Amino acid sequence: MNLILLGPPGAGKGTQARRLEDTRGLVQLSTGDMLRAMVAEGGPLGQQAKEIMAAGKLMPDALMVEIIGERISKPDVANGFILDGFPRTVAQAEALDAMLAEKGLKLNHVIEMRVVDAVLVERVTGRYTCAKCGKGYHDSFEKPKVEGVCDSCGGTEFKRRADDNAETVTTRLGQYHQQTAPILPYYEARGVLKTVDGMADIDEVTRQIEAILA
């Protein structure tokens, strides 16, 4: 099964994608995570990604299409994948359709996670992850069971994203409304668009997604 999780910054795409990896053996393909890995490696592309992400703007379509094209050609996605953060423009959606057709792959569901802008800033600025295994947490909504210790790996170091500040989030939200939201009618016209209430608590959002996949 191949899915897209679509929603604004902080909608819960990463949170739900990681759950679906665990429960359904799907592979999470997060373009944001891929770009952050490029930033960590350094080099000219990493530097470009660092600057664009820090500004809350979008990376060029051609580059993102190339990255995803390579990724979905690898054998580990055979059991299905969850696109998290891609496509982000209508041009990316069109390119994805062409790539899937070429590979004989199908898009089963595009799931829109609907959340009002007002809560997104709080979600994003409160977010942090385990530095060792990457498990996600939130200052108020998803704390580790033992304070300062990762539930998954026992790690005690945590990190926050450079673009998770109120100013950049506002730009990222603007980009979502201008560039990414126009994808919704694109998928609606193709009959694959489903919507979940991203305002509900994390477990309830998981239940709504599971109901769509069942």
* Out of 2, 3, 4, 14, the residue judged to bind ligand AP5 by CB under 6 A: 14
6 is in an annotated binding site: no
Q: If binding is defined by CB under 6 A, does position 197 make contact with ligand AP5?
A: no
Residue 138: CB minimum distance to Mg ion, A: 12
CB of 112 closer than 8 Å to CB of 7: yes
190 is in an annotated binding site: no
Contacts of 17-22 with C-beta under 8 Å, sequence gap 24+, read: 17/82, 17/84, 18/135, 18/136, 19/206, 20/82, 20/209, 21/82
Q: What does the radius of gyration of the chain's CA atoms come to, in whole angstroms?
A: 17
Q: If binding is defined by CB under 6 A, does position 11 make contact with ligand AP5?
A: yes
Determine the Cα angle at 34 with ends 197 and 10, to 5°: 25
Cis ω before 60 (30° cut-off from 0): no
What character string, x for contact with ligand AP5 (CB under 6 A) and - otherwise, covers 18-57? -------------xx--x----------------xx--xx
Whole-Å CA distances, 91 to 8, 58, 63, 70, 127? 18, 13, 12, 17, 30
Residue 114 is inside which H or E element, if any? strand 109-114
* Out of 3, 28, 88, 121, the residue judged to bind ligand AP5 by CB under 6 A: 88
Tokens of 75: 């054998």
Q: If binding is defined by CB under 6 A, does position 71 make contact with ligand AP5?
A: no
Catalytic entry in 114, 127, 159, 160 = 127
- How many Å separate Cα 204 from the centre of its chain? 18
* Out of 26, 38, 39, 58, the residue judged to bind ligand AP5 by CB under 6 A: 58
Residue 189: CB minimum distance to Mg ion, A: 26
Catalytic entry in 71, 135, 161, 194 = 161
Pairwise CA distance, residues 139 & 11, whole Å: 16
190 is catalytic: no
* Out of 20, 27, 50, 123, the residue judged to bind ligand AP5 by CB under 6 A: 123
- Contact residues for 181 (Cβ-Cβ < 8 A; gap 6+): none
* Residue 64 binds which of Mg ion, ligand AP5, none (CB < 5-8 A, kind-dependent): ligand AP5
161 is catalytic: yes
Q: Residues at the annotated binding site?
A: 10-15, 31, 36, 57-59, 85-88, 92, 127, 130, 133, 150, 153, 161, 172, 200
Q: Which residues are catalytic?
A: 13, 88, 127, 161, 172
Q: Residues at the annotated binding site for ATP?
A: 10-15, 127, 200
